[in-house]
Amino acid sequence: MAGLNHTLALKKNLDQRARERFTSSLRAYTLVDLADQLRSDYSEEQTAVEHPHQSGEDVHRFLKSRDLFKWYSSLRCTAQELVWQSTLRALDEDRTTLAGLSGVTQVAPEKSAVGGSLALDPKLSLPSYIDTMDVHLMPGNYQGDREDVSVHPGAVYDNGLEVFSFGVMGEHLDDIGHSMANFTRLRWPGLTVDTVVDVGCTIGHNTLPWKQAFPDAQVYGLDIAAPCLRYGHARAESLGVAAHFRQANCDQLPFDDGSVDVVFSSMFLHELPRNVINDFFKEAYRILRPGGLIIHMELPPNEALAPYDAFYLDWDCFYNNEPFYKEFRDLSYPALCRDAGFDESAFFQATLPRYTYVDEQEFRDAIDRTASFDEDTGRLSDTITWYAFGSRKQG
């Protein structure tokens, strides 16, 4: 584990670094070795059965009482808790790195060394569902408490994600952003990209790659969690990338009608209640200019997956405090786009290798192929493929 490569990275002593390496290894063991064992155990049990399981729910019901499932699941939750505990300890002990970042609410581009900005909205009304459950078992969630003026939740997320991802999500935990931005660049070479809006950006780790892929564009990162945006702004400054962070709800995007070229999100929709997803799509449609692109990096839909693979991904819904996850994945993604006003024929989906881990030709080849779904689609491992879907606004 290389550790975070920017100036906001928490200082960790030898034991803390060793503890994080352990947690990363434990996660890799659980999510690769044990997960493979769980799958092969299931396959053996299901060989030659008269009525094979038809859905992820069937598989889940079957596995729930099996010892290996309990073992795998309990270990996975424990590893997840260790991710955050090691980070919280580092945050308790390092009182200098993040000092001075608290309380910032506005930074104008001319005050930024790289031309980025921050605009928080203290009057913004936050939805109540974010306070009922700490997503991903992350203490404090993304927003901390309502009065949190620190950057701590952002730091917990950034440092925790580094441990969580056991090296498979890119140098700056930003491979999803690079993969999606470069997919856009290569698939639609004629697309004008002057304004990009990343909605639900948290700390902006997947926002900045859009500025790197489209250096002339104005790139915005939106979220409701002020501590993450505050941290994301400081992180962007540290990495020398100009991005504009805005506090806003996804169902009320602060952009004029037809003023945006690309609306992007990553791993965001599955954390939202259904009605908010619909409202977000309508807002995205409103702010896109004719010909503009909506692109979501997400988990693949259940309808595209074999029953076991559907079960495997839905595990997080039941056991990782992501209550809307399965309901989202049960939706028809083309219908979501269509219902927001996008033309049905403009729907696209893709399964892509990780841009920063392969050469550009291999990535291009994947763009030309039809999306294909297997056990690597969306499953965090060193062979993961990202899934994306979206549409273009007609005109």
Partner 1 sequence: MTQHSKTVRGGRPAFFDSPETDRLLAMIVRLLSEQSVLAERVKTLETLLDQLGVLTAEQIEQFTPSPQVDEAWMQTRMQLIKDVLESGANIEGSTK
Element (H, E) at 119: strand 117-119
Stretch near partner 1 under the rule CB under 8 A, chosen from 45-53, 87-95, 252-260, 271-279: 87-95
Does 102 participate in binding partner 1 (rule CB under 8 A)?
A: no
| Cβ neighbour number for residue 360 with a 10 Å cutoff | 10
* Parallel/antiparallel/unpaired status of strands 386-392 and 348-352: antiparallel
Among 92, 110, 216, 368, binds partner 1 (CB under 8 A): 92
Nearer to partner 1, 11 or 369 (CB): 11
Span 21-60, contacts to partner 1 by CB under 8 A: 21-23, 26
Nearer to partner 1, 18 or 108 (CB): 18
Interface mask (CB under 8 A) for partner 1, residues 321-340, using x and -? x-------------------
* Parallel/antiparallel/unpaired status of strands 117-119 and 244-247: parallel
Among 40, 74, 102, 252, binds partner 1 (CB under 8 A): 74
Does 143 participate in binding partner 1 (rule CB under 8 A)?
A: no
- Cα gap 150→226, rounded to integer Å: 9
User: If you ran DSSP here, which 8-state letter would residue 227 be given?
Assistant: H
Q: What angle in degrees, to the nearest 10, is found between the helix axes of 35-46 and 67-93?
A: 160
Does 70 participate in binding partner 1 (rule CB under 8 A)?
A: yes
Span 337-376, contacts to partner 1 by CB under 8 A: none
User: If you ran DSSP here, which 8-state letter would residue 385 be given?
Assistant: B
SS3 281: helix
Given phi > 0 = left and psi -120 to 50 = alpha, else beta, which region is 48? Answer: left
Stretch near partner 1 under the rule CB under 8 A, chosen from 76-84, 171-179, 258-266, 364-372: 76-84
Residues at the interface with partner 1 (CB under 8 A)? 14-15, 18-19, 21-23, 26, 69-71, 73-75, 77-82, 84-85, 88, 91-93, 131-134, 137-141, 152, 156, 318-319, 321
